[in-house]
Amino acid sequence: MKTSMHQLAAVAIVSIAASSAQAGTVTLATTGTVAAGIDEIGLFGNRGGLLDGQVFSLSISIDTDGLVPQASTWGAAGTINEAIQDPLRPTRVTGAVSVGGHRYTWTVTDAQLAHITLAAAGAGSQDRPDIASIGGYGIAGSGTRVSASSELHTSSKGNQPFIGATDFDQQRSFDTQQNLLLSSSLFHASLGPGEGSNAGATTLLTYFTSADRLGSATWSYVSPVPEPNQAWMLLAGAGVVAWYRRRTSARRNANCRLPAGTRC
């Protein structure tokens, strides 16, 4: 009985631990000035307003569980890590964008397209810069089609690259005024005919692209954290194991024939 209880405890703990495993989240956040844009949906103020010249912030987060590695599109030079949407698994993409003091957030639980790219130029390679890129596209909970991406470049000619390793489990902040050769961000949202307040109308678009330089940029990775319900499952499993052990010990003591004070 003692051996079987140990086996039960091990199975319970392993299975609960496995159920609490989650993917990490990668986020790329940028701020800058809108080079060109229009707000037909009215996400940032009046419908139909121009966004040119306004200050913006854009943050995109992707759950890495729905991404799979892919061959690099940047050639053989340097070291590269790329991942793209797995069509067989849903990818969660969340985002927040502010323009002119107005904020819009969205969540796509099953992205139609998502990608992450880290590329570090190899020694002596001057044909391309280092690059960090993240993007996601899909239907938000409101029914709006959302596409957002940010791409950051650093010069490999004398500047210290911001990509120290080609894995996604890292965090970087960098001074865009000194280290970025070229940077860009894009936001796009559309409301098609028959969707929401646009029933029977033509497709409405809200979009912007950034100027060549961004105000700031941060690349971050958040490690998986068990959700509250999974933590409760872990506690419940531990409680069940402890209850079985106490019950077994009580039965063994009740049937013990040894003198009092002696452990069975």
Tell the residue number behind the tokens 């010249």, with chain if given.
53
The pLDDT value given to residue 190: 93
Exposure on the CB side of residue 159, measured as CA atoms within 13 A: 21
Three-state DSSP state, 202: coil
| Alpha carbon distances (Å) from 247 to 1, 201, 239, 240 | 11, 69, 12, 11
Helices (H), 64-186: 176-179
**Of 14-23, 121-130, 147-156, minimum mean pLDDT range:** 14-23
> Which one is predicted more confidently, 197 or 111?
111
The string of pLDDT tens digits covering residues 178-230 is 455 566 899 999 988 877 777 778 889 999 999 766 777 788 888 776 555 55
Q: Taking Cα atoms as reference points, which of 183, 179, 180, 181 lies closest to residue 210?
A: 183
The pLDDT value given to residue 60: 96
Q: Taking Cα atoms as reference points, which of 154, 41, 157 lies closest to residue 99?
A: 41
Whole-model pTM?
0.71
Residue 263's pLDDT band (cuts 50, 70, 90): low
> Would you say 150 and 58 are in contact if contact means Cβ atoms under 8 Å apart?
yes
Residue ranges per structural domain of the chain: 2-16+226-254, 24-222
> Would you say 58 and 95 are in contact if contact means Cβ atoms under 8 Å apart?
yes
Mean pLDDT across the chain: 74
Segment 15-18 long-range contacts (CB within 8 Å, at least 24 positions apart): 15/237, 16/230, 16/233, 16/234, 16/237, 17/234
The string of pLDDT tens digits covering residues 132-143 is 889 999 999 888
Neighbouring residues of 19: CB distance < 8 A, sequence distance ≥ 6:
230, 233
Q: Taking Cα atoms as reference points, which of 235, 222, 234, 223 lies closest to residue 20?
A: 234
> Which one is predicted more confidently, 117 or 242?
117
